Chains A and B, each alone.
Chain A
Amino acid sequence: MSAWETVIGLEIHAQLATKSKIFSGSATRYGAPPNSQASLVDLGYPGVLPVLNGEAVRMAVKLGLALNATIAPRSVFARKNYFYPDLPKGYQISQYELPIVAQGSLEIVLEDGSTRKIGVTRAHLEEDAGKSLHEGLPGLTGIDLNRAGTPLVEIVSEPELRSAREAVAYMKKVHTLVRYLEICDGNMQEGSFRCDANVSVRKAGTQKFGTRAEIKNLNSFRFVERAINYEAARQIELLESGGTVVQETRLYDPDKGETRSMRSKEEANDYRYFPDPDLLPVELDAAFIDSVRQTLPELPDQKAARLVRDYALSAYDAGVLSASRELAAYYEEVVRAVPKEPKLAANWVMGELAAALNKDNLEITCGRIPAAHLAALVARIADATISGKIAKEVFEVMWAEGSTPDAVIEAKGLRQITDTATIERVIDEVMAKNPGQLADYRAGKDKLFGFFVGQVMKATGGKANPAQLNALLKQKLGG
């Protein structure tokens, strides 16, 4: 066991899936031509004023309820003041002292199957900044304010994560949650879901936190894991060689796989937070909060528990299948068609199908293999029309051509051979062709059994029913 313990807290920024921005009517669509989705409010024109988007509030409350958190009856927007060209007003509207969501938690499942509860300190609403562009603009900086004013919810964890893997498990869980709640599309490449990681190390067994470094803007699970591991190792090495960790902001360079200093605490801005006088405090009554509660879907943990209960799946399988609402829905659609085979269905959804989707970088919702087709395939395995091995072959054709399993089985003649006489005839032929191996087997070389299985399978194109073949072969070889 290491003498050092890593302490991690994550600040996750999730872009809320509202149609319009948090304080203006501009659209929030990704990838529009620069500044085509920037209204006078987003541009910070003289005289304009922000008006809060009620949908963003509703989404934040949804998140708070799903985190079992306290929903503040009164929360306040504040101005975070700093100058930057992509921050048009010279301040970001955020929540500071009174966030809309406080003191929640969620449970993560560790690799050994155990669970840990991770505290969520707070979640607050804020607006995103614009983007500075440098590519293709030598000596110039371009400003794209399409993103300025996009609603974000910042979810701040307690410093309770103890490894990069825990951090990733936590981040994945939040990712699952926001997508279940349909409050964020979770698209990490487009920056809809990203995080800052606060990392420090301390001697195992001590209580006092070490000095932390904040790693900014991590936009993939892999980067989070690598950045934290790199940073923890860097700090440990520094401390072991007699150095000290400086409180600073660092950037992760995915090409080099390292973090490097961006600015120290001394250089940090004094943001001069104060309540935004242009916006009224957000006051939420119990009736409103209850009305939002009514709209909550079945949450990931609830769904996983139900999958275990209804289909006798393992906690692990249930966890994998409930990682996304769409995956779980697909699985349940398959099971509805083959209600006696929940485990086999789970294996196929999590195995072949997941691998194929992953390989082609597709989502479960792509429709490449409709749930009905996969269910038909599972049914053919269950009724012994084909073996599991042949089923993989059938699946590949289904994936490539979009055909039904029955059509593939018929077209390729893959129906399993279950006729005893036919199998016996092939066994006889194989035995006749291989007198030497037969003699050796009968002389006690048991290992050659496999050789004969292989030969028969080869001769039948793999279609012989494995169980029948096994029994008949034993009988025949035994003389």
Chain B
Amino acid sequence: MSNEEARLLLSGNEAVAQAAVDLGFALGTGYPGTPSTEILENFSLFGGKAQWAPNEKVALEVGLGAAYAGARCLVTMKHVGVNVAADPLFTAAYTGVAGALVLTAADDPGMASSQNEQDTRHYARAAGVPCIEPADSQQAYDALASAVEMSERWQMPVILRLTTRVCHSKTIVRRRQLPKPQTAPHFRRDPQTWVMIPAYARPAHRKLRAKLSEIAQWSETAEINRVEPGRDGGELGIITAGVTTVHCREAAPEATILQLGTTWPLPMKKIRSFADSVKRCLVVEEGDPFLAENLRAAGINVESKDEMYRFGEMSVTRVKRILSGDTSEEFVPPRGKPPALCPGCPHRDVFGLLRDLGCIVSGDIGCYTLGVLPPFQAIDTCVCMGASIGVGLGLRHALPEEEARKVVSVIGDSTFAHSGLTGLMEMIYNPPPTGHLVMILDNGTTAMTGLQEHPGTGRKLDHQPTNRIVFEDVARAMGMANVHVIDPNKDPQGLERMVREALASNELTLIVARRPCILAAGKIKGYEKAIAEGKGDTCNE
């Protein structure tokens, strides 16, 4: 490579994508989710083979298969996506891999664009999967190389944990020569390793724990866990990880800092000797007190942050407060203008109607969750991807008839592809006495995360044509009798008639309200035109 010295200004997401190209990853797969989305988009732009899966579980399973075949595979998702992928993750830790499998999970402390602020490090510990955390884009680039090294050496999946401020901050990166895969993919028949029946899983669990203790041993001297001296010659020591490291460095130039690049398993000997080497030792971490609790459980005496700092993002100001033991009320910045559904958004037509009809709306995850805010205030529940259908059915089963009749489930097109089918199956299998109405708000894109493709658009991640899943056909094939498709903007009266009829009946109804997202409509036309002219990728902006 001739560009070893070149300085680049990259976001953490771009840096991971660049490293994946430089490491010769064979495949990147995942499901869009802020703040992780741009990793796969950039991997594709930089020349990698990247694809959106219907959801994170499928993505991790595809990644696992590729890694069983001996390839290097990157699987990306946001923190809540790890919940969806948790089932394969826990057993993938047992089977291990033949190639390399890196699960990049992007946490969102402070919930800039999420429904909770869960901490992926708990999954690393619970599943027994190593976890690496970078502080900036250069470290993110290097961390993917470390993750591959660990995944290939111990033949197991590795979690690369990013957070919003790593994903979406641009910092300077220098690429370097990274090792490409040594062998071509090939299937090695080995049922005792790949087939997790109890007889094979019992020794696999012991093997996993043995690997983790080897990794813990390795991490004691690994360069990724670094001590950086401060000015005070060992008075104050801070143990930290991720982007909090640079907040600490800025807030406390006097401190000696131990940055943990591996946050699972932990280099306990190194941490213990660090804690012993300074007069005052403090753990400063964003989110849950994961490090502090694990260090204390190991008998290492450290100070840690007050409970008030579990919530929201860490910052230079907060680190200063933690160091001085300040637990007074924090400054609350004045609120700006809240986000809203765009002018011309097709969801507006649907929410106006549901509000006017006094519906109880079981909502889902996407732009349309903004239907909860004025002027609509037409979303009553929102939990997780796909929950609109199940929660709506539960409401219908439990509520008295008059209220039950008002319940509607609304779900976006990408969210339906992600987790809607099993909810629909439940509705057909266990129909409530008053029936139910599900509305797919199909705007032809994954809008909230930045207009990504999904199986219902008929185009792949790079906007090239592929097979399309037609939701109304699937619903009919599943046995739904009342399936309607309508443009909510062109035919509002028709939509109102359909909704009123469905609510009055005791039947099951699916309405697909289909009209492209106002932000995506022009781009979609461009993709379609390019495909028609046989030059699909010219519109890939």
Query: A and B bound?
Result: no
Binding site for B on A (CB under 8 A): none
